[in-house]
Amino acid sequence: MDRLIGKKALVTGGGRGIGRAIALAFAGEGAEVAVLDLRPELAEKVAREIADLGARSFSVVANVSDEAAVKSAVAATEAALGQIDILVNNAGIDTTSRLVDMPTEMWDEMIRVNLRSVFLCTRAVLPGMLQRKWGRIINISSQLAHKGAAEMAHYAAAKAGVLGFTRSLAYEVARSGITVNAICPGPIDTELFRNIPEGWRENKLAELPIGRAGTVDEIAPTAVLLASDEGSYYLGASLNPNGGDVMI
């Protein structure tokens, strides 16, 4: 339980769901963890949970699609923790719409929150990682980046963009001691998934070979692997804890 001792991590969207589970798992492995969320009460709550585990924690609030807010949040985190060794780009949204009915703003918001944010947060932390010649960047994508889904063209497009970004950046920074990888979860029992229309959720769960949604605790160990020295030979990879929805 000491695979991340001495490491400093920033987890976006860390106030709930998969982000919270990853933040707590990192703390359990000895990391100091900054929890970034749009809702201050959620970030603070998880930071307290981390402190209760005996790990140093920090909460920070930012809209990850806003360039100035991201720069400020990363600067505050670096001031509080000293540096950022591990970045988890987890913050995201999930909506459904037939493309013919989709407002342009729904498309634009999805790209801003689920793809632009990955670029902004990564660019902000990368200089320090390059200087220290070590870093772990973990991007939360989705199995729908591989498979697609009716009424989720905007979501699948954004998450596929995350994979293209992951692979391209991996080429750029690998020889600087930085790994860049993605996790592509399937349907996970989170507030985000439960807010999707019931009919869509039922149809998706019926497709799964495993026959159920996953839990956040079935995703967090993959992030720990990629963040640790044990994950040092993964590069530009897309790990797929998805209940068999996509088998690659």
DSSP secondary structure, 51-76, as one string: HHTT--EEEEE--TT-HHHHHHHHHH
For residue range 82-135, what is the model confidence (pLDDT) as tens digits?
A: 999 999 999 999 999 999 999 999 999 999 999 999 999 999 999 999 999 999
The C-alpha atoms of residue 243 and residue 206 are separated, in whole angstroms, by 11
Amino acid at 243: G
pLDDT of residue 197: 87
% of the chain at pLDDT higher than 70: 100
**What is the token pair recorded at 63?**
């809209």
> In the structure, what pLDDT confidence band is assigned to residue 68 with cuts at 50, 70 and 90?
very high
Q: Which residues are catalytic?
A: 155
Beta strands in the chain (DSSP E): 8-12, 32-37, 57-61, 86-89, 135-140, 178-183, 238-239
Amino acid at 221: P
% of the chain at pLDDT higher than 90: 92
Describe the strand order of the beta sheet including 178-183 as a list of residue ranges.
Answer: 57-61, 32-37, 8-12, 86-89, 135-140, 178-183, 238-239
Q: Give the number of other Cβ atoms within 10 Å of residue 157's Cβ.
A: 17
pLDDT of residue 196: 85
The C-alpha atoms of residue 89 and residue 11 are separated, in whole angstroms, by 7
CATH class of 8-239: alpha beta
- Rounded to 5°, angle at Cα 171 from 165 and 172: 90
Give the residue among 31, 29, 26, 28 at the shortest CA–CA distance from 6.
31
The whole-model pTM stands at: 0.95
pLDDT of residue 1 exceeding 90, the answer is no
Residue whose pair of structure tokens reads 């929890």 in the numeric block: 35
The C-alpha atoms of residue 195 and residue 93 are separated, in whole angstroms, by 10
- Taking all residues of the chain, what is their mean pLDDT, rounded to a whole number? 96
| Domain segments of the chain as ranges | 8-239
Q: How many residues does the chain have?
A: 248
pLDDT of residue 93: 96
Amino acid at 173: V
